[in-house]
Structure 1
Amino acid sequence: MIDDATKEILRRRANYLCEYCHSPERISTTRFTVDHLIPKSIGGSDELNNLALACRRCNERRYNFVAGYDPETKAIVPLFNPRQQIWSDHFLWSVNGRTIIGVTPTGRATCKRLDINDERYSEDDSIRSARGFWIQAGLHPPKEDPTGK
């Protein structure tokens, strides 16, 4: 069980953003969840370097996967790890700010595994639509911190 003090450390470290899709926690009706980068079910720990802040949808879609399929190279590659990698090295925002584009095998595999852009749904019924509202409200896209996270 992760205590409240550790959760607050995670939230601050992540700048109150999902460490995968960069959704802002302040627009969520519930606090974001703690994701184990190496799931406990396969030997992961509750140590800070194994924890990430994740919105519920990313956490549920990541489940206990640590690798994914890159549709471009056809390779199985590790999913994005915010403790070891910089978000902007693997992802960028589309010009309109509604879509996250994976620019590396890890980025593409993470986008696919987490269905980060709700590709299965129409634009109106997806996270892309919500991002459009966040843009109008001045809450998106998030400003990167100096570490590129």
Structure 2
Amino acid sequence: MTPTLERRVRRRARGRCEYCRLPRFASEFTFPIDHIIARQHGGATEADNLAQSCPHCNAHKGPNIAGLDPSTGEFTRLYHPRIHRWREHFAWTGAVLKGRTPIGRTTIEVLAINDPDMVAAREALIEEGRFPGR
């Protein structure tokens, strides 16, 4: 990945994880650039297949491109930040992210977005008025 491409992806993400919306400033770790469709599945290293993710989402997503919808058990693709509109698939209830669609529910489940530690981090940010993902 070229430095120019990395800057483009980071700028487009506006300083937050493109999956859970955690702001970059809330982590002591660098936010990795995720291949939305992993290279092992034929995903290219190009802007339309890259997303900035927080370390938590990145570690849980790995090369996954789908999972099982926890409500229906149906095999469902994960949220794709370049194709899908975030607000169609997700909604906040306080610091807890809710899935509005099978894609949203599945993504939340696979990426463990509502892990208790992540919810606690978002609650603290909300209390400080510093959670821009809302």
From 111, 121, 129, the counterpart of 1:138? 129
Shift of 1:85: 0.5
Query: CA RMSD, aligned part only?
Result: 1.2
**What is the CA-CA distance between 1:141 and the residue it aligns to?**
4.3
Partner of 2:85: 86
Q: 1 CA distance for matches of 2:70 and 2:42? A: 28
Which amino acid letter does the alignment assign opposite residue 105 of structure 1? Answer: P
Secondary structure at 1:82 match in 2: coil
Give runs of aligned pairs for residues 1-149 of structure 1, distance below 5 A. Answer: 2-94=1-93, 97-118=94-115, 123=116, 126-142=117-133
Kindly state the Cα deviation for residue 3 of structure 1 after the two structures are TM-superposed. 2.5
For residues 133 and 8 of structure 2, the distance between their equivalents in structure 1, rounded to whole angstroms, comes to: 19
Ranges in structure 2 where 5+ consecutive residues have no aligned partner: none
Q: Distance in 1 between matches of 2:27 and 2:2?
A: 21
CA contact under 8 A between 2:5 and 2:46: conserved in structure 1?
no
**AA partner of residue 12 (structure 2):** R
What is the identity percentage for the equivalent residue pairs of Structure 1 and Structure 2?
38
4+ aligned runs moved over 4 Å, structure 1:
none
What CA distance in whole angstroms lies between the structure 2 residues aligned with 1:135 and 1:22? 12
Q: Secondary structure at the match of 1:77?
A: strand
- Give 1:138 deviation, angstroms: 1.4
Q: Which runs of 5+ in 1 are unaligned?
A: 144-149
Q: TM-score, normalised by structure 2?
A: 0.94
1:111-139 deviation digits (Å, cap 9, x = unpaired): 11011101xxxx4xx11111111012211
Distance in 1 (CA, whole Å) between partners of 2:96 and 2:71 is: 18
Q: Which amino acid aligns with 2:103?
A: T
